[in-house]
Amino acid sequence: MVFMDEPRHRRFRRLSSWAYTQGAMREMRAHFRSLAERFTAEYLEALTRASAQSGSVDFVDGLACKLPLAAVGEILGLPPEDWNQILVWSKALVGEVEAGDRLPGESLGRAAYRNMIEMRHYLDELIEESRAHGASRGGLIDRMVHTPVEGRLLSNQQLNGYLFLLIGAGNDTTRNALAGGVAALLEHPEQCVLLCAEPARLPTAVEEILRWTSPVASFLRTAEADFDLAGTRIRAGDTVGLFYPAANRDPRVFVEPYRFDISRAPNPHLTFGFGAHFCLGTNLARVELAASLEALLPLLPRLALAGPATRLAQTHVMGYSTLPLRLRD
């Protein structure tokens, strides 16, 4: 779907957009808040056990991945017992496969490829099961399987690609925004103190985290017409790289763009893109970030970085592979 132009793009987008509206998210906000509180309590327990031995706990796997994974799983109706495996597959989409998830002698590239094939087979089974039994169930996958677009039901290949997108984007981007946001707060302690002292700043903090982290780094697009961009001539047919972190630090738009400021307003960031391809999961991402940060507020003053973090080796998705944290002494 990310490669489709209008009007075809809009027709395919309608298959799932109903599940991500502001109204749908309002109905799930309290549930997400409850999940975030539970996941944060579990993370605190792990930190407390680790601190007894002067240890640390990775924030990415320990907490940041939990709510996005649960949200995607529940919205798509995926069995909870499959969620951990879905996370492994989702990370493989951006070239991350932990050593414990590789076969003996398997390279990272081969492991990522194998995981994507496994995910495709898994989704094919869900699609076939829905074709057999799901016409009247009304869930997201069932509606996608049984709703015609342009007069035809989607093929397995189309459905598989669509579900890859919903699962991968739903997991990776919000996880990376939350991990990057917590890292930014700990690296800018005055902003962390301000947020903890004034929780009402949470909405602007969410927007600044989205601007600062810019989880989707880039997209390539093809120019439809000749255009002059600040003295650079772009010709019709040229491939153009769009770099969202650069747009979100444009000094013509943002005052002190390289300053992390949770009070920044207005904040016209382009983290979710613009136009027809504006991010489908925008409302979900904002609700998840707000719920996660709200649950973390009592814990934030006690958190500290516990060593060097590692970043994703990616040009499309930006974020942390690991972010070790510890409890302050």
Q: What's the token pair of residue 198?
A: 């004034």
Q: What is the pTM of this model?
A: 0.94
Cα(91)–Cα(99) distance, integer angstroms: 13
Cβ(38)–Cβ(201) below 8 Å: no
pLDDT for the residue 1: 86
For residue 201, give the amino acid letter: R
The strand pairing partners of 310, in sequence order, are 322
pLDDT for the residue 285: 96
* Mean per-residue pLDDT of the chain: 95
Q: What's the token pair of residue 176?
A: 């990376």
- Evaluate whether the domain defined by 8-199+281-327 bears CATH number 1.10.630.10: yes
CA-nearest of 301, 311, 314, 174 to 323 is 311
Return the half-sphere exposure (C-beta side, CA atoms, 13 A cut-off) of residue 211: 27
Tell me which H or E stretch contains 324: strand 324-327
The average pLDDT across 165-194 equals 95
The strand pairing partners of 326, in sequence order, are 304
Q: What is the DSSP letter of 83?
A: H
pLDDT for the residue 329: 77
pLDDT digits (tens, 9 = 90+) for 134-178: 989 989 999 999 999 999 999 999 999 999 999 988 888 999 999
